[in-house]
Structure 1
C-alpha cells in the first residue's frame, strides 16, 4: 500500500460513517471520493471475484452485490470510535431479502445461493476502517451471520428452502456461465 498522510480524528469518523452509508446508496463516484485506490476489503473472500481487488472498483462491487440481494438496504449507525487512523463503526444492517444471496468459495466459484425469502433483517455489525490520505485504505468486519440466517429463515433449513436454494444456485451458475 502506498499511503502517506495521516487523517485527523474528526475526518476519520466522518469518512468511516460515509463509507458505510454509501454501501447502501452511494454512486460509483461516491466510492472514488471515499475509497483509496490501494484500499483492501478483508471481507471479500466469500464475495464475487470482482470484489477481491483493490480500490473503489472492488468496494463498489461489494455494494452492488449486497444491493442485488437486499432491497431497502440501510446501515443504522449506532456508535463510532476513533483512535488514530482507525475507526470502528457499530451498525445495524437492515433490509429485505429480495434477491438471491450468492456466496462464493476461495476460487471465486459460486458456493451457496440463498433464494429470496422476502423477509426483513436487522443484523448487528462492527466495521473496522483504516484511513490515510483522506480515504479508506482498509476494511474488515465482525457480523452476526447466524442471526441473519435465522431471521431470513435459512437456519434451520426446511425441505422447501433447500429446494428453492438449489434452484437459485442452478440459476446463478447458469447466469454466470458456469
Structure 2
C-alpha cells in the first residue's frame, strides 16, 4: 500500500477531483472521471446527479455550490491499494444558499435554509475506484451530524423548523410557480 500523496498519479487525480467539485467545469471533470463513472452518493442528490459520467458529477458539484460558498477539501491522508484510492479529508466552507435533500424518487425531501453564512469544517473519507488513470466509481463516509450541528440545522429551533417547511414548500412548487 502506497500512502504518499505526491508520487502516485491516481492519488493526484483523486485529489484534483475534489478541487474540481468546488470550482471545475464539466470539461475539467471529464479529465478525471471516466465516461461511465458512477457516484454512489448521488442517491440523495438531484435527478441530474444520478446518472453516469462527468455530466452527473458536475450536477453534484452545482448542487453543492448552490448551498456552500468557499468550498474546500483539505487532504490529510491518501492511501492506495490496487485500484482503490482513499482520501481522508476535511471539507469546509460556508452555507450561503439552501441545502436541498432529495428522496429516493428524486423529489425534494427537505430544505435547510442558510443561517447567516455559517462556516463549517467536517471530516470525510472518499473512496475512488480507478481504471486507466480515471475515476470510475466514488463513494464517501461523511460526518453529516457535525455538519448539521455546525450549520444550526440540528437541534432545530421552532423558528428554524418553520423556515425549513416553508423552504421545502417553495422547492416543491412547479418551476412555473417560482
Q: TM-score, normalised by structure 1?
A: 0.92
Q: For 1:165 and 1:65, how far apart are their aligned partners in 2?
A: 18
Tell me the distance in 1 between the aligned counterparts of 2:93 and 2:133. 30
Q: Does 1:25 align with 2:23?
A: yes
The residue number in structure 1 matching 2:145 is 146
CA distance in 2, matches of 1:175, 1:88: 40
1:28-81 Cα deviation digits (max 9, x unpaired): 211111110110000011100110010001001000000000011111111111
Question: How many pairs does the alignment contain?
Answer: 170
Partner of 2:58: 60
Deviation (angstroms), 1:176: 4.5
SS at match of 1:89: strand
SS in 2 for 1:169: helix
State how 1:97-176 maps to structure 2 within 5 Å: 97-117=95-115, 118-174=117-173, 176=175
Alignment check: 8 A CA contact 1:127 1:141 kept: yes
5+ residue gaps, structure 1: 1-8
Q: In structure 2, list runs of 5 or more residues that go unmatched.
A: 1-6
The superposition leaves residues 58-110 of structure 1 with CA deviations (integer Å, 9 ceiling, x where unpaired) of: 00100000000001111111111111111101111101111010000000000
Task: Give the SS at the match of 2:172.
Answer: helix
What RMSD in Å do the two structures reach over aligned CA positions?
Answer: 1.4
**How far apart, in 2, do the equivalents of 1:64 and 1:162 lie?**
25
Q: Which has the higher contact order (CA 8 A, sep 6+)?
A: 1
Runs of 4+ in 1 over 3 A off after TM superposition: 175-178
Contact 1:80 1:88 in 2 (8 A): yes
Which residue of structure 2 lines up, in the alignment, with residue 3 of structure 1? none
Q: Where do 1:30-49 residues align within 5 Å?
A: 30-49=28-47
Q: TM-score, structure 2 length as denominator?
A: 0.92
Q: Partners of 2:172 and 2:14 in 1: how far apart?
A: 35
Cα 1:176/1:77, change in 2 over 3 Å: farther
